[in-house]
Amino acid sequence: AQRVTQPEKLLSVFKGAPVELKCNYSYSGSPELFWYVQYSRQRLQLLLRHISRESIKGFTADLNKGETSFHLKKPFAQEEDSAMYYCALKKDNQGGKLIFGQGTELSVKP
Amino acid sequence: ETGVTQSPTHLIKTRGQQVTLRCSSQSGHNTVSWYQQALGQGPQFIFQYYREEENGRGNFPPRFSGLQFPNYSSELNVNALELDDSALYLCASSPEAANTGELFFGEGSRLTVL
């Protein structure tokens, strides 16, 4: 069965510290992985996707098929990064159907 | 550009009742997906509508049903409500053939079943 696992419900770091939000997945096909973010009192929105190989707001994520992971990283956390982060998997040709992890709340303290 | 709007924002029902939730997709988007988000969990896919037809369904019983209208707005109907149906229901739209996995979410409708 397809599954996305985010092992940490809460991650708390100090401003300027590196941050890594973990995501592991299980899927036998060719997955596409995403990170969605929800800031306080805002709606859920796309942060980045592995296909784009882009850095958004200083965040990067690399798909590691060997370890079936897609961890989200940022070298220096900022207070405005505090939010709920969801890792999601899209199966082949099923654009609207995403399988989400349980989410990790990132708290960046001053 | 108008984003995804959902109504109502909050509602309370009792067990056994029926509920209808509404969603207007973002301008230019003709695909709508519905998700259920229980407290402390990630969103879970219910179904998707494309050109007024159901186009994929998650692991939800038939008492969860939907509609999409010619203007691409959508409804989610839940019959015979159960306590476990209490959740935030999210609507998300995406443009035709994008298949990119980028969904544009509404703010959700929070349903409480007593």
Write out chain B's pLDDT in tens, 114 residues: 679 999 999 999 999 999 999 999 998 888 999 999 999 999 999 999 988 999 889 999 999 999 999 999 999 999 999 999 999 999 999 986 556 788 999 999 999 999
Q: B103–A96: do the CB atoms touch at under 8 Å?
A: yes
Q: What pLDDT, on the 0 to 100 scale, is given for residue B55?
A: 87
Number of H helices, E strands in chain B: 0, 11
pLDDT tens for each residue of B74-104: 999 999 999 999 999 999 999 865 567 889 9
Strand-pairing partners, residue B65, are: B77
Residue B98: C-alpha distances to residues A13, A60, A94 (Å)? 36, 23, 10
Range list of β-strands (E), chain A? 3-5, 10-14, 19-21, 24-26, 32-38, 45-49, 60-61, 72-74, 83-90, 98-100, 104-109
Distance CA B8, CA B10 (A): 6
Q: B105–A45: do the CB atoms touch at under 8 Å?
A: yes
Of B4, B42, B102, the CB nearest to A101: B42
Distance CA B46, CA A52 (A): 27
DSSP, collapsed to helix, strand or coil, labels residue A69 as: strand
Please state whether the peptide bond connecting residue A7 to the residue before it is cis, i.e. omega within 30 degrees of 0: no
- Classify residue A69 as exposed, middle or buried by CB count within 10 Å of its CB (0-12, 13-18, 19+): middle
Q: What pLDDT, on the 0 to 100 scale, is given for residue A29?
A: 81
Chain A residues whose C-beta is within 8 A of a chain B C-beta are 4, 6, 9, 32, 34, 43-46, 49, 86, 88, 90, 93-103
CA distance B13 to chain A (A): 24
Contacts of A46 in chain B (CB under 8 A): 102-103
Q: A95–B94: do the CB atoms touch at under 8 Å?
A: yes
Q: What pLDDT, on the 0 to 100 scale, is given for residue A54?
A: 84
Distance CA A11, CA A106 (A): 5
